[in-house]
Structure 1
Amino acid sequence: MLDRKKEPAYHQVDNINFIEPHKQQLDNGVPVFTINAGNQELVRIEFIFENVNWNVSKPLQAIAVNHLINNGTPDLNAQQIAERVDYYGAFLQTEYGADQSTIKLYTLNKHLAEVLPVVKSILTSSIFPEKELSIFIQNQRQSLQVSLQKNDFLARKYFANTIFGDSAYGSNIEMADYEAIQQSDLLDYFKAAYAPENCTIFVAGKFENEEFLVLNQIFGREWGASSGSFRNHFVFNENTKNDLFIDKPDAIQSAIRMGCLGINRTDVDFPGFQVLNCVLGGYFGSRLMANIREDKGYTYGIGSAVVSLRDAGYFFIATEVGSDVSVSAQEEIEKEIILLRSELIPESELDLVRNYMLGAMLGSLENAFSHADKFKNVYFSGLDYSYYQKYIHTVKNISAVTLKELAIKYLDLDFFTKVIVGRK
Structure 2
Amino acid sequence: LSANTWNWLDSDGALYMPTRSGVSKFYFFGPSVVMPRAILNSVTVDDVYYEHPTGIALPRDARRITVDISELLFSDTTEYLLAYRLEGFDTEEIFTTDKHVSVSYTNLKGGSYTLRVRIIDPMTGESSVQQSMPITKARRLTESPWFYVLCAALVAALAALLMHFYSKRQNQRLLKKQEEQSRYISDITKVFSECVDMRDAYTNGHSARVAKYTAMLAEKMGKPPEEVDRFYRIALLHDVGKISIPDAVLNKPGRLTDEEYAVMKSHSQRGFDVLKDIDIAPDLALGAGCHHERWDGKGYPRGLKGEEIPEVAQIIGVADTFDAMFSTRPYRKKMRLADVVAEIRRCSGTQLSPRVVDAFLQLVDEGAFDADDTAPEPPVPAED
| TM-score bracket relative to the smaller structure | under 0.3
Larger Rg: 2
Higher relative contact order (Cα pairs below 8 Å, separated by 6+ residues): 1
TM-score of the superposed pair, with normalisation by structure 1: 0.21
TM-score of the superposed pair, with normalisation by structure 2: 0.22
